[in-house]
């Protein structure tokens, strides 16, 4: 497994990361254990979760029970910010909440430190400077090693870099955002901002929630244990005529070169200079194997140029 630095930081991460959003919710502890062990055996070192994954805490709890002595061998990333209770009082990015959230995550994960602690979404009710200073304190206390953000707009990412520089605080080294052959909106503003500030990109939904796996057929209902069968809002969002047109063109491109659509999706992300690790979820060990194998396809400059004519882009 290849590894890369997370942006301009010294943190090394595997090119394929394991997204742990299915643990403790969609799949149980034993199924999660098989997926994690397969990922570790194949050289994946970045495991990404969030406090709200797995019905609020389930994913972190699973990882805490699974990792054991192998905790020291991985880069463990988690996030905070989404509601952790029915009343939606436990949420946000205030100093008061962050200090509570990190202790809860550490307890569930059964660890003394978090390698990458990320704000999961913007909090319009809290001054960003308050959030940044609280997160910097966690680094100084040794509870967190590196800081990152997820789903922040480009202007806010730029603001954090300037605010941290002025106040001499630890700043975000990474952004985790949706990015795939079919969803490329971050190329307009966020990616240029990240390049200017030396930040690493951790793309999630690299397979467009499964549309880029090749397992769906245009016009046929999504069946079985699939995302589109479980969540109608995802099917409505991704299963559009324009996306199907792109998928059909991309599938032909990959097949003509002896590869699958899934391999194209991962190979294309691996070729993006800003990408440090591709966050890919899995519910079965076999899916982890396919994801790891997929990044072996090294696309040429001519390939990338042609792909831009086949799929929508910013």
Q: What is the pLDDT, as a whole number, of residue 225?
A: 66
* Cβ-count burial 268-291 (b if 16+ within 10 Å, e if not): bbbbeebbbbbbbbbbebebbebb
Reported as type and span, the H/E element at residue 66 is helix 53-66
Average pLDDT over residues 290-314: 93
pLDDT score of 216 more than 90 = no
Please determine, for residue 229, whether its predicted confidence score (pLDDT) is greater than 70.
no
Per residue in 188-214, pLDDT tens? 999 999 999 999 999 999 999 889 998
Please determine, for residue 226, whether its predicted confidence score (pLDDT) is greater than 90: no
User: How do residues 256-283 score in pLDDT, each as one tens digit?
Assistant: 999 999 999 999 999 999 999 999 999 9
Domain residue ranges in the chain? 3-216+263-299
Burial of 256 (0-12, 13-18, 19+ CB in 10 A): exposed
Q: What distance in Å separates the CA atoms of residue 215 and residue 234, rounded to the nearest whole number? A: 15
Does the domain at 3-216+263-299 match CATH 3.10.450.50? Answer given as: no
Residue 12 confidence (pLDDT): 98
Banded pLDDT at 234 (limits 50, 70, 90): confident
Contact (CB, 8 A) for 118 and 151: no
204 catalytic per annotation: no
Confidence of residue 230 (pLDDT cuts 50, 70, 90): low
Mean pLDDT, rounded, for 152-170: 97
Residue 193 confidence (pLDDT) = 97
Tell me the β-bridge partners of 150: 176
Q: What do you get for the CA distance between the two ends of the chain, in Å?
A: 30
**pTM of model > 0.85:** yes
Kindly name the residue from 53, 117, 146, 197 that is annotated as catalytic.
Answer: 53
Confidence (pLDDT) at 218: 82
pLDDT score of 313: 77
Q: What average pLDDT does the segment 89-112 reach?
A: 98
> How many Å apart are CA 168 and CA 90, to the nearest integer?
29
Res 66 pLDDT > 90: yes
Distance CA(259)–CA(88), nearest Å, equals 46
Distance CA 128, CA 246 (A): 39
- Give the Cα separation of 314 and 304 in Å (integer): 14
Name residue 114's beta-bridge partners: 144
Report the run of H or E that residue 96 belongs to, with start and end: helix 95-109
Residue 312 has pLDDT above 80, yes or no: no
Strand partners, 75: 46
CA–CA separation, 121 and 125 (whole Å):
12
The per-residue pLDDT for 239 is: 80
Q: Cβ contacts of residue 51 below 8 Å, gap of 6+?
A: 57, 60, 78, 79, 80, 82, 84, 101, 104, 105, 108
Q: What is the mean pLDDT of residues 75-84?
A: 98
Q: What distance in Å separates the CA atoms of residue 174 and residue 172, rounded to the nearest whole number?
A: 6
Lowest mean pLDDT among 6-20, 76-90, 112-126, 205-219: 205-219
3-state helix, strand, coil in the chain (%, to 5): 45, 15, 35
Q: What is the DSSP letter of 27?
A: B
């Amino acid at each position: 497994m290849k590894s890369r630095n997370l942006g301009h930081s010294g943190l090394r991460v595997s090119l394929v990361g394991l997204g742990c959003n299915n643990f403790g919710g969609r799949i149980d502890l034993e199924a999660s254990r098989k997926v994690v062990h397969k990922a570790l055996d194949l050289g994946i070192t970045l495991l990404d979760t969030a406090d709200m994954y797995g019905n609020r805490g389930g994913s972190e709890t699973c990882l805490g029970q699974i990792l054991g002595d192998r905790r020291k061998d991985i880069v463990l990333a988690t996030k905070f910010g989404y509601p952790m209770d029915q009343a939606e009082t436990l949420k946000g990015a205030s100093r008061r909440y962050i200090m509570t959230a990190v202790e809860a995550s550490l307890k569930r994960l059964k660890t003394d430190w978090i390698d990458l602690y990320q704000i999961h979404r913007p909090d319009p009710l809290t001054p960003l400077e308050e959030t940044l200073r609280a997160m910097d304190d966690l680094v100084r206390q040794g509870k967190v090693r590196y800081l990152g953000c997820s789903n922040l707009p480009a202007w806010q990412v730029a603001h954090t870099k300037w605010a941290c520089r002025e106040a001499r605080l630890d700043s975000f080294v990474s952004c985790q955002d949706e990015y795939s052959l079919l969803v490329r909106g971050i190329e307009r503003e966020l990616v240029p901002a990240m390049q200017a500030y030396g930040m690493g990109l951790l793309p999630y939904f690299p397979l467009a929630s499964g549309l880029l796996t090749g397992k769906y057929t245009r016009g046929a209902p999504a069946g079985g244990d699939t995302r589109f069968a479980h969540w109608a809002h995802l099917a409505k969002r991704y299963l559009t005529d324009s996306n199907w047109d792109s998928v059909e063109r991309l599938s032909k491109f990959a097949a003509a070169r002896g590869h699958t659509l899934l391999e194209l999706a991962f190979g294309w992300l691996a070729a993006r200079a800003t990408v440090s690790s591709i966050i890919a979820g899995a519910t079965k060990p076999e899916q982890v194997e396919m994801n790891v194998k997929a990044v072996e396809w090294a696309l040429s400059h001519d390939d990338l140029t042609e792909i831009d004519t086949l799929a929508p882009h910013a």
